């Protein structure tokens, strides 16, 4: 078996036995195809420690890729070589003796503030009235534009209210929404399911009204969110929708679904919600993944304390 065949067999293994999401499988495939292209250009037929070291130099020096990208590529290759070993295609794992350290720059992820979210909601209303309070004000002749407005608003509010991933959002079916218990069943990574909650009556009413507009699109699928043509929404469609929404609201950046997920986690922790509850809401397998949001939350708290602490007023009184 050659390297190309081994990669194809490994990708089939991921789809058939690991229940990886489409996004994760696509990322693995892209990483391994890149490694295969490099291997072919070097005339190297097999995976070895020296070959991996050359590939690392190629990524970091020749192509100057971001450290996080380099580390992801190596994680993919580590999984691949572990499978090669367990399948008997190699007799020893090159990562046993090849252990590079990739230093990552810790960056605070960008996410919309409460004021940004307010501007987003107002952008889909009229005369300063939030759109969720005036969603029925459109005439039938405005059907397509009105529907897109409602779809955008539902998307923003659901992502922020629940903290779900964009892939989880587009996978929600009509039967997953339970208005009696105000919950939505989410089909997460690795076929793990969890419930998220609709936090207020306003969002429930918005969803109910959206469903009446959704029926007018003559949908040909049973997913909750559908395009104006009645088709299932894709993750790229949702990203474009949010990008257009941020432009309409006059935000100085392009809004992404993950930004709303970051905002949901951070604002919940700042409000005092237990980190275990936030972990469950976001669908994190490990609490350490959720803990990174505590650093963002702490930074926000520290900024407010530094700005509002009475010590400044006391010192100014002493100086006077």
Using DSSP, state whether 187 is helix, strand or coil. strand
Contacts of 301 (CB under 8 A, 6+ apart): 270
Please state, in angstroms and rounded to a whole number, the distance separating the CA atoms of residues 259 and 109: 8
pLDDT value at position 143?
60
Q: What are phi and psi of 197, to 5 degrees?
A: -115, 145
Q: Specify the DSSP class assigned to residue 19.
A: -
Q: 177, 207 in Cβ contact below 8 A?
A: yes
Q: Which superfamily, per CATH, for 114-258?
A: Intergrase catalytic core (1.10.443.10)
Per-residue pLDDT of the chain (320 residues), as tens digits, is 588 889 999 988 887 777 677 778 888 999 999 999 999 888 877 788 888 999 999 998 899 888 888 889 999 999 999 999 998 888 888 888 888 887 766 565 678 988 999 999 888 763 333 445 444 444 443 566 788 999 999 999 999 999 899 999 999 999 999 999 999 999 887 778 889 989 888 899 999 999 998 988 889 899 999 999 899 999 999 999 999 999 999 999 999 999 998 888 888 888 778 888 888 888 877 776 666 666 655 555 555 555 655 655 665 655 55
pLDDT value at position 257?
95
Break the chain into its structural domains and give their ranges.
3-96, 114-258
Q: 83, 15 in Cβ contact below 8 A?
A: no
Using DSSP, state whether 183 is helix, strand or coil. strand
In this structure, how many other beta carbons lie within 10 angstroms of the beta carbon of residue 101?
A: 5
Please state, in angstroms and rounded to a whole number, the distance separating the CA atoms of residues 282 and 259: 13
pLDDT value at position 280?
83
Strand order in the sheet with 193-197: 177-178, 183-187, 193-197
Please state, in angstroms and rounded to a whole number, the distance separating the CA atoms of residues 169 and 237: 12
Crossing angle of the two packed helices 114-122 and 143-162, in degrees rounded to 10:
160
Q: What is the dihedral of CA 242, 245, 249, 251, to 10 degrees?
A: 30
Q: 6, 83 in Cβ contact below 8 A?
A: no
260, two tokens: 């709303």
Taking alpha carbons only, the member of 233, 213, 228 closest to residue 173 is: 233
Residue identified by tokens 């994190």 is 284
pTM exceeds 0.75:
no
3-state helix, strand, coil in the chain (%, to 5): 65, 5, 30
Q: Specify the DSSP class assigned to residue 304.
A: H
pLDDT value at position 170?
96
Active site residues: 165, 189, 258, 261, 284, 293
Contacts of 320 (CB under 8 A, 6+ apart): none
Please state, in angstroms and rounded to a whole number, the distance separating the CA atoms of residues 309 and 306: 6
Please state, in angstroms and rounded to a whole number, the distance separating the CA atoms of residues 179 and 221: 20
Q: 52, 70 in Cβ contact below 8 A?
A: no
Architecture of domain 3-96: Orthogonal Bundle (1.10)
pLDDT value at position 177?
96
Please state, in angstroms and rounded to a whole number, the distance separating the CA atoms of residues 123 and 250: 9
Crossing angle of the two packed helices 22-42 and 67-86, in degrees rounded to 10:
90
């Amino acid at each position: 078996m050659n390297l190309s065949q081994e990669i194809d067999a490994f990708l089939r293994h991921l789809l058939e036995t690991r229940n990886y999401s489409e996004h994760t499988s696509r990322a693995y495939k892209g990483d391994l195809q890149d490694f295969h292209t490099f291997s072919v250009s070097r005339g190297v037929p097999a995976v070895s420690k020296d070959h991996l070291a050359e590939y690392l130099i190629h990524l970091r020096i020749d192509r100057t890729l971001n450290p996080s990208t380099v580390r992801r590529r190596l994680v993919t290759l580590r999984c691949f070589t572990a499978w090669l070993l367990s399948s008997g295609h190699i007799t020893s794992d090159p990562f046993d003796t090849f252990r590079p350290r990739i230093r990552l720059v810790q960056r605070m992820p960008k996410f919309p503030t409460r004021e940004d979210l307010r501007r987003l909601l107002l952008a889909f209303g009229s005369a300063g009235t939030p759109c969720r309070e005036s969603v029925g004000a459109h005439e039938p002749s405005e059907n397509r534009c009105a529907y897109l407005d409602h779809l955008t608003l539902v998307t923003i509010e659901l992502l922020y209210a629940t903290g779900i991933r964009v892939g989880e959002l587009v996978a929600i079916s009509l039967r997953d929404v339970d208005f009696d218990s105000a919950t939505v069943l989410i089909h997460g990574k690795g076929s793990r399911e969890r419930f998220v909650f609709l936090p207020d009556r306003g969002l429930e009413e918005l969803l109910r009204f959206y469903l009446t507009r959704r029926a007018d699109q003559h949908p040909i699928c049973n997913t909750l969110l559908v395009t104006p043509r009645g088709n299932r929404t894709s993750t790229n469609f949702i990203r474009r929708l949010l990008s257009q929404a941020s432009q309409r609201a006059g935000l100085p950046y392009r809004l992404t679904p993950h930004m709303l997920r970051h905002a949901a986690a951070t604002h919940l922790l700042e409000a005092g919600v237990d980190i275990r509850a936030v972990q469950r809401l976001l669908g994190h397998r490990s609490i350490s993944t959720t803990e990174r949001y505590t650093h963002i939350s702490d930074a926000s708290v520290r900024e407010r304390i530094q700005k509002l602490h009475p010590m400044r007023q006391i010192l100014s009184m002493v100086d006077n």
